[in-house]
């Protein structure tokens, strides 16, 4: 069964890389948000979810909460709106982290899509309940695009942990 895992043997992760990836995801989110497209995926949410799956003891709900507050200030939305959806996302990641990585990447995407949709709808419900108008249907595309970003995140964020492919006579794989 363990042979099914494509990334069975990875190098240990550097905490600096985790911090760097979260900060750059925040910057990319910020840059993308200036385009004012409703369907723009939230890169930071994907990054928090990714590390919540792969390093649940390093990136937890506290970090998600703080990053969410920053995001709220940057978006000038209700203070706590992004924080709540990131905390919930991080909790889902924690509850999934032992199971999810046993599946191939396509099935992983199928399993995480509902969580991204749920996290997005938290923000939507909060804003609708505080008297804002529905911003438009393209907002539902955003969690789907976040799901599509999952393989990309896997490729980029695990890159420093992959071993160099170096077979010789004694180590055939």
Partner 1 sequence: MALDSLDRSPPPFFRVGFAPLTKLVFFSALSLLLMFGDQQLQFTKPLRAALSTLILPVQWLVLQPGQAWSSLGNHFQSLEQAQQNLKAAELKALELSVRSQQVEQLQIENQTLRQLMGMSSNLSANFQAAEILFDVPDPYNQRLVINKGQTNGVALGSPVIDAGGVIGQITRLYPMTAEVTLLTDQNQSIPVLNSRTGARNITNGDMLEGVPMIELKFVPASADVKEGDLLTTSGIDGVYPAGLQVARISHIERRVDISFARIHAKPLAELQGRHVLVLQPTGAASAAKGKAP
Binding site for partner 1 (CB under 8 A): 10-13, 27, 30-31, 33-34, 36, 38, 55, 57-58, 60-62, 64-65, 68-70, 73-81, 83-84, 87-88, 91, 94-95, 126-127, 130-133, 135-136, 139
Q: Which of 55, 68, 45 is nearest to 16 (CA)?
A: 55
Query: Cβ of residue 106: shortest distance to partner 1, in angstroms?
Result: 26
Query: Cβ of residue 114: shortest distance to partner 1, in angstroms?
Result: 17
Please spell the DSSP secondary structure of 123-165, one letter per residue: HHHHHHHTTPPP--GGGGHHHHHHHHTHHHHHHHHTGGGSPP-
Q: In terms of CB distance, is 92 or 116 closer to partner 1?
A: 92
CA–CA distances in Å: residue 72 to residues 26, 32, 34: 12, 15, 14
Going by the DSSP 8-state scheme, the letter that residue 14 receives in this structure is: P
Retrieve residue 116's tokens: 């991204």
Q: In terms of CB distance, is 62 or 105 closer to partner 1?
A: 62
Query: Cβ of residue 151: shortest distance to partner 1, in angstroms?
Result: 22
Q: In terms of CB distance, is 97 or 156 closer to partner 1?
A: 97
């Amino acid at each position: 069964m363990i042979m099914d895992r494509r990334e069975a043997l990875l190098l240990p992760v550097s905490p600096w890389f985790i911090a760097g990836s979260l900060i750059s995801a925040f910057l990319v989110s910020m840059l993308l948000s200036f385009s004012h497209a409703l369907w723009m995926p939230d890169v930071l949410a994907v990054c928090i979810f990714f590390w919540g799956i792969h390093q649940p003891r390093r990136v937890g709900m506290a970090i998600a909460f703080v990053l969410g507050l920053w995001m709220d200030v940057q978006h000038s939305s209700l203070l706590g709106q992004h924080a709540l959806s990131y905390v919930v996302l991080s909790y889902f990641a924690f509850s999934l982290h032992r199971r999810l990585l046993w599946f191939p990447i396509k099935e992983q995407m199928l399993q995480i899509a509902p969580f991204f949709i749920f996290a997005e709808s938290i923000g939507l419900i909060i804003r609708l309940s505080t008297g804002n108008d529905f911003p438009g249907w393209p907002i539902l595309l955003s969690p789907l695009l976040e799901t599509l970003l999952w393989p990309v995140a896997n490729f980029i964020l695990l890159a420093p942990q992959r071993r160099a492919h170096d077979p010789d006579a004694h180590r055939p794989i």
